[in-house]
Structure 1
Amino acid sequence: MATRFRLDIEGLRAVAVLLVVANHAWYWPTGGYIGVDIFFVISGYLITRALLHEKEKTGRIALGRFYTRRFARLAPAAIVTIAVTAGVSGLLFFGLTNAAWNRQAAASLVWVQNWFLVSIGNNYLESTGSASPYQHFWSLSVEEQFYAFWPWLLLLGWSGVAALSKGRSPHLRATVLWIGIAGFAIFLAYSVWFTAYRPASAYYATPTRVWEFAVGVIVATGVLSVSRRRSAVALRTAGLLAIVVAAVAFDSATPFPGATALLPVLGTAAVIVAAERAASERDFGRVLTVWPVRYIGRISYSLYLWHAPIIFFAAALIPGEPFFRGLVCVFVSLIVAAASYRFIEDPARHARVWNHVQDWLSRRRTWTRVGGIAVTAGLVAVLSAGQLNGMSLLPRVQPASVASTTWSSSGALAAALSKAAAATSWQPFEHMLSAPLAHVNHRGCQREPVGLAPDSNALNLICLPPESDTKRTAIVVGDSIAMAWVPAIQGALGSGWQVGALGLAGCPAASALTKEIRGLKTFVDDCAKARRADLAKAAAAKPDLIVLSSAVASMRFLVSGNTGDAAGAEWRQATVRSIESVRSAGVPVLVLGNPPEGRRPVDCAIRIFGPERCTATIPADNGIKRSAEQGAVRDAVVDGMTVAYVDPVPWFCTTDGLCPVGAGNLIIRIDTSHMTAEYSASLANVLRSAFDETGVVPDRAAR
């Protein structure tokens, strides 16, 4: 059966890419991310149709030819995009930013960007815009992974059925159909389950998307067809409407890609099936074959590659009204995509060198070809595994070393913050911006609450200091924000103290039921259980001081859904419960507030602008949380406990409420909320003064 060129497929590609581009440029349509799912169905359909045609025509599938054509079609334009993006990043951003993106660039080069984003806990649907100029390579990675295994699975399935048929030649399309149906059923069920269990990871994971390719596989077998033109027109119209409804009705709160993805996926399949019979009808679906739409579909791959870095860099360089900026970005993206297609993508795909490669492969023995493919696949697998485990194909810059800085007093720090807020030059911070910032993870004592075994011996030995007759003991309990305070607390208490830490990632010290940004299904219960265990462990250790601290973000993820003052009231009660839970220790408790959130240096530190772009104001909910914790401390004092609250806001922001990116020659934050290790250590003296003012901290001298 011949594989005729499908004009409507070009039109569908245009619909898919325009939905994605519009969503990235204007955040509308809110469900524009379904464009990726349209691409997946189209890919499953076209690749399977081509493989079936080759098998039926020649009796074999030339794997070398298949992979050569895939590489020629996809790799050259992608490599150029990554190279140009890296070059522009190097000109605009400091080493800090580029070091953070190096691994994403490398992951994109070896087509494992989706798994890298899973490994760092990136949440596509919760982000406002791209987290990096390489983030969109996740979907291309999923496609390449499908291309890597699908021809082999098809051949294995064919061989297996042939062996079971005892000499009878099995029907090729029937075999592929059953493989497609099995893949659809198994991976759709997995997608529904995993999307409910870990939605952030499910969005990027290849297994949750395989069933979408399987829909394209099923359509490619020809088992689905429409005999009457009017029925085909109705089916195509219904398919397009399904895509439109999904694009407009879906948003970041829609569970995806579970069962809800059936709407755009089946809509795409309906359009492909119906167009076989409805191609010549004058209905709404004919828009897919209009020349301008088809041309956008033709350049859709280049448009997808280039639009994301263009939008990303524009957002960093052009502040102001996003609608106008989006218009400019889309216009520029179309021009760049057209040029990329004309001068890179199309010439590279038809270059004669690929014919030579295919001829060379065809002359090799089967075992040589299979061995070469196996070695290549193994090399890619090793590089990919190394990439996900911390190795980078690009040079990794070591964290900057900064001379030890300790603020002599809160007045000296306030003066430095005021100077930084008024600064117009990056000069004081350039040394720290040249390399990754050091984050604090106190001796490995920040753990994931999911599946945590709080009673482990390792936890006792590492995170809870041993009893000492000569030193006092403090134990810090809370989330990653609490862990970031440990260097400051150790410096403030001095050498006569030993500081332990019980940290739970994303799980606050306040006994509130909170969700987690990655949407882990069991997080709420796991966090509550692990927090109770940590608070009990801290009280049982009978330290001289217990410090509780939490991120403001947890107050935004309350299971109750409360916001504003209602969230504050709930947080106040939750903080009281945590304070009460350590009453049995009979020791003072300090509730230490969180640093006000600001802008990430990796986002706002741009060479051609000044540090004022990184200056933030204090978020409103930070004040609500501060008032709630102060109220909880008053309640506990009334109840007879020795408790105090320490407000750290003056150590991060000016009296006018401006929060600069740094102070002195130190960068304050590693991201929006966590202190750098250097800045935390620099606060030892001001925190010591704050401890003294509370009147509840025992004498800092040794026992």
Structure 2
Amino acid sequence: MHTVSSSGPARVGSRREAASERTRVRPDIQGLRALAVVVVVLDHLIGWPSGGFIGVDIFFVISGFLITGLLLREFEKTGRISFGDFYRRRIKRIIPASAAAILATLLGAFAVFGPSRFLETAQDGGAAALFGANWRFAADGTDYFRVGVPVSPLQHFWSLSVEEQFYFVWPAVMLLVLALVARHPSGGRSRARVGAGLMIGLISAASFAWALWETQSSPTQAYFSTFSRAWELGAGAALACAAPLCSRLAPRVRPLLAWLGMGLMLAALFLIDSSSAFPAPWALLPVLGAVLVILAGTGAEHHAFLLPLTNPVSGYLGNISYSLYLWHFPVVILGGAVFLNRAPLFYLGCAAAMLLLAVFSYHLIEDPVRRSTWLSGWKARAGGTTTADRRTARGAGFRRAAAATALTAVVCAVSIPHIPAHSRSIQLSNTPAVDVSEETAALQEQIRAALRSSDWPELDPTIDEAMNGQLAPADITACGGTGPITVSACTWGDPDATRRVVVVGDSIAISWTSALREAVGSTDGWAVTGLGTSGCTFTELLIRNPSARLLRACEGRKEQVVEAINDLRPDVVIIANTYEPRFPMGRDESLTTEEWKDSTASIVSRFSDSVGSVVFLSPPPLTTDIQKCYSKIAEPSFCAGQVRQRWRTFATAEQELAGELNGSFISPELWFCAEGWCPSFVGSTPVMRDLVHMTPSYQLEIAPALRSELLDRGILRSRQSSPENR
């Protein structure tokens, strides 16, 4: 993650200069790097601590401090900043190791992922290589329908992109300000730091103000945005400008500052989580903590007061932290595609793999290239480190890599026999479902056949196409946006209909609208109106959503839906919402079943006098996420899953709510599963496009069974009183 080595020379020169630079290695900063990378790895691997992602913010502070200090020292020594030397160091420091990680990840993705996910990963790789990954992931994160898409194995490159974009312009800005101050009659090189510090302060203040606004208005954009993150690098840069003043700190004050900084960072690890306003203002906590730790050690000769950061283990982890950051995330994501079930072997295997890859990368690529004379020109080759020095460094690196190779062989020998087969053992009885319609019985027969299949059939569309296809037909999807509701454009069926079904809810309602249009629209005298809104749960409480635009529109859309129902006075209102955890605005705990029932009953009460009956239609059972399990190495049974308890709990609650409101409840379980097992395809049709949404093709497949259920319940067959008589 870090983008400059504290031991890297400001310019390639003599052995004396190189040795002088190496004496400036800061053990406390190496320890901070170790802390930052360890908490990031823990967060991505096991999801603990809740604020582990703040390691990135610590890295930003470190990078801002080191690189700005390097530029200041060069200007004070020579009166200029060599852009050529700066960017040559950047290339040597960043490109070789990151290129190796990107290429290896793409090879792994090609071997494991399906075509579309590999193509997505390849595009992510291109963005990462060009240091534009943060903008790519920010754009993807604002699209609601991508919420269920698996995380890219290269998503962690967003932070490197932020740093490199910042430093692409930083040397020029620094040189301009430093030169202007130095040339002023009252200036000089000694005052250049003051001018630079003032400029950095203004930039950082503006960036923080922008981050505060963007975190509230568009949190996904804010998280990835260079403009919303610049103040974190600026905090480290400002400290670099004030470095000469730090030598005046009393020795007894330094430990207090260091431990206060450690306390702030540790507090951030447990006080901050994914629901916190981030990066502003909550990133202030880890940023201030990192600044205090670096401040405490600036101008000091030793750092014995901070042993947790300055011990040899932390020092080595700090050395390999960049390589460890590069490799840990691809290991977690690609490993997750191989180990669908998170057994202890998965976590141990990932930890060993990422650590070994980091050791190889650091000692065989990162450190040798950084020490080499590549891109440094003939003067560096003539006056730089000697061949003997380079051989000594290479020898030490190869010895460590050899030890890692031996350890890798042992790990592989132990782990390979325990790698799980990419299939499941599914035991089904020969007893078919009873008391079901002919249409449901036919689906059950195909479901059971799919669960027993050991080979993927020829599917239309392919699973790959289904995962990347639309949520529903385009005209239905268009009605689920955030704009004003147009009832006429979102109504289908008999043009002379005297009876009407209105479908409301979130994106689940949109996916059911396609099946209901086929089921209800084919019945004489009936029409279907789709008023669902993607990402807008149909409850009285406002539910959080990562899209600020959608969140702002949700309350208005619900008001429009209630008004439309009261105007239309339909015969039936069908409510369909997701059973995934839902978090009300201002709360970190998800809705309980009782809270959900109360909130749903509250919004239903606002139109209950205007409708004939209310029907609760459950979403498809929550089982295995096809987006995560489907790969080139997976058999069909590997992507078959059992119905999750959460789905059953909320289905039971919804059934109770229907009884309390004198409504109806319909469970679609038998259209998706047999004996609690749910396949990824039925016949020649993929069932699910992600964890919660069925494919448009399967929406049509189950329409006959849905129609039969509605008729059997009397919801369609029973002629309701006309609207004007109610």
TM-score of the pair, normalised by structure 2: 0.77
- The residue that corresponds to 1:626 in the other structure is 651
Residue 225 of structure 1 pairs with residue 246 of structure 2? yes
SS at match of 1:409: helix
- Counterpart-to-counterpart distance in 1, 2:149 and 2:612: 47
- Counterpart-to-counterpart distance in 2, 1:130 and 1:693: 39
- The residue that corresponds to 2:562 in the other structure is 535
- Counterpart-to-counterpart distance in 2, 1:469 and 1:448: 21
Residue 280 of structure 1 pairs with residue 302 of structure 2? yes
The amino acid that maps onto 2:694 is M
**Residue pair 2:562, 2:607 contacting (<8 A) in 1 also:** no
The amino acid that maps onto 1:515 is I
**Residue pair 2:57, 2:232 contacting (<8 A) in 1 also:** yes
Residue 181 of structure 1 pairs with residue 201 of structure 2? yes
Quickly say closer, same or farther: Cα 1:436–1:618, change in 2 above 3 A. Answer: closer
Residue 515 of structure 1 pairs with residue 543 of structure 2? yes
Q: Deviations over 1:148-192 (max 9, x none)?
A: 2323433454567689x5896683211210122223333333334
- Pairing of 1:592-671 with structure 2 (within 5 A): 592-637=617-662, 644-654=664-674, 656-671=675-690
| Deviation of the 1:53 alpha carbon | 2.3
**Residue pair 2:504, 2:531 contacting (<8 A) in 1 also:** yes
Match for residue 491 of structure 1 among 504, 518, 535:
518
Residue 109 of structure 1 pairs with residue 139 of structure 2? no
Q: Deviations over 1:102-139 (max 9, x none)?
A: 4433332332332333333389xxx9998231221121
SS at match of 2:263: helix
- The residue that corresponds to 1:151 in the other structure is 171
The amino acid that maps onto 2:509 is A
| Deviation of the 1:434 alpha carbon | 4.3
- Counterpart-to-counterpart distance in 2, 1:279 and 1:322: 47
- Counterpart-to-counterpart distance in 1, 2:602 and 2:638: 36
- Pairing of 1:514-593 with structure 2 (within 5 A): 514-518=542-546, 520=548, 523=551, 526-540=553-567, 546-553=573-580, 555=582, 557=584, 563-574=591-602, 576-577=604-605, 580=608, 583-584=609-610, 590-593=615-618
Gap runs ≥5 in structure 1 = 360-406, 638-642
SS at match of 1:512: coil
Q: Deviations over 1:525-574 (max 9, x none)?
A: 74233112023235535667654322223655487857444235325514
- Pairing of 1:161-560 with structure 2 (within 5 A): 171-223=191-243, 224-227=245-248, 228-283=250-305, 285-318=306-339, 322-349=343-370, 354-355=375-376, 409-427=439-457, 432-435=462-465, 437=467, 438-443=469-474, 446=477, 452-454=482-484, 459=486, 462-464=489-491, 468-469=495-496, 475-494=502-521, 499-509=528-538, 511-518=539-546, 520=548, 523=551, 526-540=553-567, 546-553=573-580, 555=582, 557=584
Quickly say closer, same or farther: Cα 1:674–1:105, change in 2 above 3 A. Answer: farther
Match for residue 54 of structure 2 among 34, 56, 61:
34
SS at match of 1:260: coil
TM-score of the pair, normalised by structure 1: 0.79
- The residue that corresponds to 1:678 in the other structure is 697
- The residue that corresponds to 2:422 in the other structure is none
- Counterpart-to-counterpart distance in 1, 2:484 and 2:148: 35
- Counterpart-to-counterpart distance in 1, 2:369 and 2:460: 41
- The residue that corresponds to 1:392 in the other structure is none
Residue 693 of structure 1 pairs with residue 712 of structure 2? yes
- The residue that corresponds to 2:426 in the other structure is none
- Counterpart-to-counterpart distance in 2, 1:468 and 1:665: 33
Quickly say closer, same or farther: Cα 1:521–1:255, change in 2 above 3 A. Answer: farther
The amino acid that maps onto 2:439 is S
Gap runs ≥5 in structure 2 = 1-9, 11-19, 381-436, 720-726
The amino acid that maps onto 1:147 is Y
- Counterpart-to-counterpart distance in 2, 1:464 and 1:470: 11
Quickly say closer, same or farther: Cα 1:599–1:271, change in 2 above 3 A. Answer: same
- Counterpart-to-counterpart distance in 2, 1:429 and 1:358: 63
Quickly say closer, same or farther: Cα 1:522–1:242, change in 2 above 3 A. Answer: same
- Counterpart-to-counterpart distance in 2, 1:429 and 1:76: 42
| Deviation of the 1:30 alpha carbon | 3.3
Quickly say closer, same or farther: Cα 1:669–1:313, change in 2 above 3 A. Answer: same
**Residue pair 1:564, 1:624 contacting (<8 A) in 2 also:** no
**Residue pair 2:268, 2:285 contacting (<8 A) in 1 also:** yes
The amino acid that maps onto 2:265 is I
- Counterpart-to-counterpart distance in 2, 1:243 and 1:138: 22
- Counterpart-to-counterpart distance in 1, 2:240 and 2:547: 36
Structure number with the bigger relative contact order (C-alpha 8 A, sep ≥ 6) is 1
SS at match of 2:376: helix
- The residue that corresponds to 2:398 in the other structure is none
Aligned length in residues: 634
- Counterpart-to-counterpart distance in 1, 2:285 and 2:488: 53
Quickly say closer, same or farther: Cα 1:470–1:36, change in 2 above 3 A. Answer: closer
- The residue that corresponds to 1:380 in the other structure is none
Q: Deviations over 1:257-282 (max 9, x none)?
A: 33332232122112222223444253
Cα RMSD after superposing both structures: 3.8
- Counterpart-to-counterpart distance in 2, 1:23 and 1:410: 44
**Residue pair 1:162, 1:169 contacting (<8 A) in 2 also:** yes
Quickly say closer, same or farther: Cα 1:492–1:49, change in 2 above 3 A. Answer: same
**Residue pair 1:79, 1:109 contacting (<8 A) in 2 also:** yes
Residue 60 of structure 1 pairs with residue 89 of structure 2? no
| Deviation of the 1:41 alpha carbon | 0.3
Query: Which stretch shows the higher mean deviation, 128-137 or 297-306?
Result: 128-137
Match for residue 43 of structure 2 among 23, 26, 46:
23
| Deviation of the 1:425 alpha carbon | 3.4
**Residue pair 1:7, 1:288 contacting (<8 A) in 2 also:** no
- Counterpart-to-counterpart distance in 2, 1:680 and 1:209: 43
- Counterpart-to-counterpart distance in 2, 1:415 and 1:483: 27
The amino acid that maps onto 2:26 is L
- The residue that corresponds to 1:362 in the other structure is none
**Residue pair 2:52, 2:269 contacting (<8 A) in 1 also:** yes
Quickly say closer, same or farther: Cα 1:699–1:128, change in 2 above 3 A. Answer: closer
SS at match of 1:518: coil
SS at match of 1:354: coil
Match for residue 132 of structure 1 among 152, 158, 176:
152
- Counterpart-to-counterpart distance in 2, 1:307 and 1:94: 22
